[in-house]
């Protein structure tokens, strides 16, 4: 079951007694918890019938006592356990989960972990409650998810702006949503988020960013690559080396994969690049320009300079100087 489905059922007035939310992606857990805290009960009901516990400070007896209370002036009460992964003796909730009170909705946020499936607690959750397990989105899922999120707010986003946003922020769904909200609140009457809007309201330069550096190296445009690195040197927060190196590694790893494809047409290659036909065309060009041996050399260089960036086998060197040295070796 997804976060959208759980919330959708709640909107219809359909509730189970226990919801266990776990896994690696806090965004979806936070969405469910936020709705449970602010939407299941109205303001007057919440004053008497909403109990919020935090795992690090909560004890199991207080939680069970709260769950076994009957609601006041309402059909139901809501009990939330936030940061439940820090709670001691959480397995003591097993008895309540097995026989929950029909008028209580217990929602447990067990972030960045999963309950051990071999335990009795896990077994009773699966039998008597709703287990919602989350995982991080894969890189190739980010564009579709981000586009859907933008469109759900009544806006659209250009492919270039979408790529710029994802390359800068990465797989941080909460931040992606926050930055999109920041943009559309400033758009006025426009319903399209473009590169200019991302540059103005998110603070990402459309000319000097990790994506443009990647494109310059892919085209062997050393002069442009050095200009971008000089911009990074003057604006250290624009693109730290810890963000640039993984981005370059991810891109050139995909370009190298082209040599393993039975079909190297644009339509076949675009699957590696968010189904973006223009990105596929550029990648095919980079593959031909560097050839397989050159791309393998780039992967090794990126690994070497990643170690140097954290001080392994390297004298103290600025990030900008490391990047300049790296792109020269990559291109030549």
pLDDT confidence of 116, banded at 50, 70, 90? confident
Fold of 210-331: Zinc Finger, Delta Prime; domain 3 (1.20.272)
Task: Calculate mean pLDDT across residues 178-194.
Answer: 91
What does the H/E/C string look like for the chain? CCHHHHHHHHHCCCCCCEEEEEECCHHHHHHHHHHHHHCCCCHHHHHHHEEEEECCCCCHHHHHHHHHCCCCCCCCEEEEEECHHHCCCHHHHHHHHHCCCCCEEEEEEEECCCCCCCCHHHHHHHHHCEEEEECCCCHHHHHHHHHHHHHHCCCEECHHHHHHHHHHHCCCHHHHHHHHHHHHHHCCCCCEECHHHHHHHCCCCCCCCHHHHHHHHHCCCHHHHHHHHHHHHHCCCCCCHHHHHHHHHHHHHHHHHHHHCCCCCHHHHHHHCCCCHHHHHHHHHHHHHHHHHHHHHHHHHHHHHHHHHCCCCCCCCCHHHHHHHHHHHHHC
The class that CATH gives domain 139-201 is mainly alpha
pLDDT confidence of 278, banded at 50, 70, 90? confident
pLDDT of 282 reads 94
Task: Calculate mean pLDDT across residues 188-202.
Answer: 91
pLDDT confidence of 255, banded at 50, 70, 90? very high
pLDDT of 319 reads 92
| pTM for this entry | 0.74
CATH architecture type of domain 3-134: 3-Layer(aba) Sandwich (3.40)
Question: Domain map of the chain by residue range?
Answer: 3-134, 139-201, 210-331
Query: Is 235 a residue whose pLDDT tops 90?
Result: no
């Amino acid at each position: 079951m997804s976060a959208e489905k759980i919330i959708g059922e709640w909107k219809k007035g359909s509730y189970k007694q226990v919801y266990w939310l776990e896994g690696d992606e806090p965004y979806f857990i936070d969405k469910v918890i936020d709705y449970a805290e602010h939407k299941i009960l109205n303001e007057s009901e919440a004053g008497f019938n909403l109990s919020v516990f935090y795992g690090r400070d909560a004890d199991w007896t207080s939680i069970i006592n709260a769950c076994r209370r009957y609601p006041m002036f309402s059909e139901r009460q809501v009990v939330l356990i936030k940061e439940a992964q820090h709670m001691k003796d959480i397995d003591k909730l097993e008895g309540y989960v097995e026989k929950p009170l029909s008028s209580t909705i217990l929602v447990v946020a067990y972030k960045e972990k999963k309950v051990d499936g071999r335990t009795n607690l896990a077994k009773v959750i699966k039998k008597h409650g709703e287990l919602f397990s989350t995982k991080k989105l894969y890189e190739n899922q980010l564009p579709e998810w981000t586009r859907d999120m933008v469109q759900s707010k009544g806006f659209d986003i250009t492919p270039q702006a979408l790529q710029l946003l994802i390359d800068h922020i990465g797989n941080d769904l909460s931040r992606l949503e926050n930055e999109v909200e920041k943009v559309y609140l400033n758009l006025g009457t426009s319903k399209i988020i473009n590169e200019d809007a991302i540059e103005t309201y998110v603070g990402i330069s459309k000319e000097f960013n990790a994506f443009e550096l990647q494109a310059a190296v892919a085209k062997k445009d050393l002069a442009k690559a050095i200009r971008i690195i000089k911009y990074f040197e003057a604006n250290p927060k624009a693109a730290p080396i810890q963000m640039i190196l993984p981005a370059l590694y991810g891109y050139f790893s995909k370009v190298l994969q082209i040599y393993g494809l039975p079909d190297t047409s644009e339509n076949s290659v675009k699957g590696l690049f968010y189904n973006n036909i223009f990105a596929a065309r550029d990648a095919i060009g980079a593959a031909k320009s560097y050839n397989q041996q050159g791309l393998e050399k780039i992967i090794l260089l990126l690994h070497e300079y990643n170690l140097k960036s954290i001080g392994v086998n390297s004298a103290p060197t600025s990030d900008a100087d490391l990047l300049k040295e790296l792109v020269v070796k990559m291109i030549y």
